[in-house]
A and B are shown apart, each in its own frame.
Chain A
Amino acid sequence: MIALPLALLLLQQVPPADAEGAIDWDKEFGVEEQVRDPVTGELPVDPYEQSNANAGARPFSGTEMAATFGGQDGIRAIAERTVDLSHEDPRIAAIFAARDMVRLKRTLFEQFCYILNAGCDYTGRDMAKAHESMGATTRDLNALVENLQQAMREQGVPFAAQNRFLSKLAPMSRDITAK
């Protein structure tokens, strides 16, 4: 009975389309539209100094670890799988929802590849900057580690080598988790 008048009332509340177009709210509030790079597909970031030191760990020496992880192809698969698992993980999905997944997959791959001495340079930001104001807890970090462990396991990396790699990442917790 009351559905029709209510619908009419609601329709009246909607402003005409041309009226909305008259005011550019993005401009009013100084919002700049983020456009993905046509080549890389990544969103732009503020400039920063690029350095392998940003990777947060010294690389392994020799080629053994890189080979154990299946070279750059294996490492890329592990990095991307870790990001995908975390993006779908209800424990930490909220943290990843606001991230540029394209850029994250690339920089995580570069970081893993650099640390595993598989012939990459790391071009991302340092760990403190990259995790600034993220508010990550140890519980979040543990969830990420479990996803990385799953990705490494799926790629056939032996457990001892998984732990050797984690030994390079574990000290970064100080920069990753919120104090």
Chain B
Amino acid sequence: MRRLFALFAPTLALALVAAPAAAEDAPPVESDDPLFEGGKLLLTNGVTGIEGSSGGGVATWATIGGLETDSGVGLTGHVTLIELPDFGWQSHGVAVGIANRVELSYARQNFDTRDVGAALGLGQGYTFNQDVFGAKVRLVGDLVYGDPLLPQVSVGIQHKRSRDAAVVQAVGADSAAGTDLFVSASKLFLSHSVLASATVRYTSANEGGLLGFGNAADDGRSLQFEGSLAYQLSRRAVVGAEVRTKPDNLGLGEDDWIDLFAAYALTDNVTLTAAYVDLGSIATFEKQRGGFLSAQLAF
């Protein structure tokens, strides 16, 4: 520790001496960072969903994460906790937005089975883990501006890799990795302060991919729907409802998801989302209804 300090002390002293001189010579500091200059209207970057892509939390939107506009680069990070009667679901990740055109994202999901793990013979607190690599491209339209009847339309891809190959194949999944494709259309109807979003997803994911993809008989690909309806209360606050349909490839009685959410932009960079979620039956354990809490930091 002392040696480390000895190493840094001269550098630090030099920096302190050099700083005032540099400040006098340097041109006036630009008020905005050229890389992360921001510029999106509050909340129009959406909030990060459980799969790392921007949206309403559970449903995916056509929005591009990050606060950048036409020419900048944006960045978001998120942490989400979902507390259910029998499970604990946690997700965290990062996304980069480029020129409000392209979104590249990564999310890690950890799904804690708690007592259920023991009941199913997996072991107490057995945790399913999944990596989700996503890309989304805005094709046409703008969430806020332009033709009021032309929504922002994006297409996206999410490559999901379960880290529990042996277990998900034992429960009947065809594969531990899969790729979702989706088309999403979102628009803020300013005349009514309402945001509407619809997404069609071509997927074979069981419980979003945590229980693998497809089943023993086939790859189980089908078209599923994600919809959000939200009302803007103020520049900073929005409340809404979402629905997300899912396949039932494993015959476990997998249910569609619904949620009621409230999002608040605490600052230009921090958005908090709280929701009531009803995830239905998960691995035959029914009525998984609980709380959803998410924090997003965006630049």
A binding-site residues for B, Cβ under 8 Å: 90-91, 137-139, 141-143, 145-146, 149, 159-160, 163-164, 166-167, 170-171, 173-174
Contact = CB atoms under 8 A, between A and B. Distances in A.
A90 to B, nearest CB: 5
B233 interface: yes
Interface in B21-43: 31-32, 37-41
B146 A171 contact: yes
Interface stretch (B67-75, B111-119, B270-278): B67-75
Query: Which of B70, B72, B100: most chain A Cβ within 10 A?
Result: B70
B233 A159 contact: yes
Contact of B31 (A90, A142, A149): A90
Interface string B134-164: 0000000010111110000000000000000
B31 A166 contact: no
B69 A138 contact: yes
B2 interface: no
A139 B69 CA distance: 6
A171 B72 contact: no
For chain A, what secondary structure do more than half of its interface residues adopt (helix, strand, loop), or is it mixed?
helix
B235 A149 contact: yes
A166 B235 CA distance: 13
Contacts of A145: 41
Given A91-B31, A159-B193, A167-B189, 5 more contacts: A139-B72, A142-B39, A142-B41, A160-B193, A170-B145
Contact of A163 (B142, B145, B232): B232
Interface string B71-88: 110000000000000000
A155 to B, nearest CB: 15
29 contacts: A90-B31, A91-B32, A137-B71, A138-B39, A138-B70, A139-B37, A139-B38, A139-B69, A139-B71, A139-B72, A142-B69, A145-B41, A146-B41, A159-B193, A159-B232, A159-B235, A163-B191, A163-B193, A163-B232, A164-B191, A167-B189, A167-B190, A170-B145, A170-B146, A170-B190, A171-B145, A173-B142, A173-B146, A174-B145
Judged by DSSP, the binding face of B is: loop
Contacts of A163: 190-193, 232
B148 A167 contact: yes
B234 interface: yes
A163 B190 CA distance: 5
Contacts of A174: 145-146
Contacts of A170: 144-146, 148, 190
Contact of A137 (B70, B146, B235): B70
B145 A138 contact: yes
B10 to A, nearest CB: 37
Contacts of A91: 31-32
A143 B235 CA distance: 13
Contacts of A166: 190
Nearest to A172: B145
Given A90-B31, A137-B69, A142 B40 contact: yes
B8 to A, nearest CB: 36
Nearest to B31: A90
Interface in B213-235: 232-235
Contacts of A138: 39, 69-70, 100, 145
